Amino acid sequence: MKDKFHFRGHERIDRRTLALCRHLVLYMERQKDVKRQEKLAAVLKKLTRWKKHDVHCAEYDIWEKAILNGGWNEVKRLLLEKTDYGVQVRQINPFIGILPENIVDKVYRRYRIRHDG
C-alpha cells in the first residue's frame, strides 16, 4: 500500500509542476517582449551558475538550447510538454522565482500532498 501512495505522490507532484508551468506561460505571455527577454536572460545566467556550481545534468543543456535556439516559443513548448520527456525536463526547472509568490502558493495549496493515510 505504501508503494501505491508513493506513486500517487509523485504523480501529484508532476501535475503540480505542470500547473505551475501553465501559470508561468500565462504570466510570461502577458509580459512585453523586452521584459520576457530579460527574464529569459536571467534564466540563462541562472543556468550558467548552476552548471558552474552544481552537478551538471542534461536538463541544463536542454533549457539553455531551448532559450538560445528556439526562444520563448521553444521554452513554452517544453514547459507545456505532456509526455514523459516533458515531465523529465520540468523536474529541473530554472524558471523558479519568476512566477509571483501568490500564484505559486495557490498552486501548492491545490496540489498539497497529504501524508495522512
pTM of the model: 0.84
Spatial distance between the Cα atoms of 48 and 34, rounded to a whole number of angstroms: 21
The answer, yes or no, to whether residue 113 has pLDDT greater than 70, is no
**Average pLDDT score over the chain:** 89
Spatial distance between the Cα atoms of 69 and 81, rounded to a whole number of angstroms: 18
Mean per-residue pLDDT, 69-81: 96
The answer to whether 25 and 79 are in contact (CB under 8 A) is yes
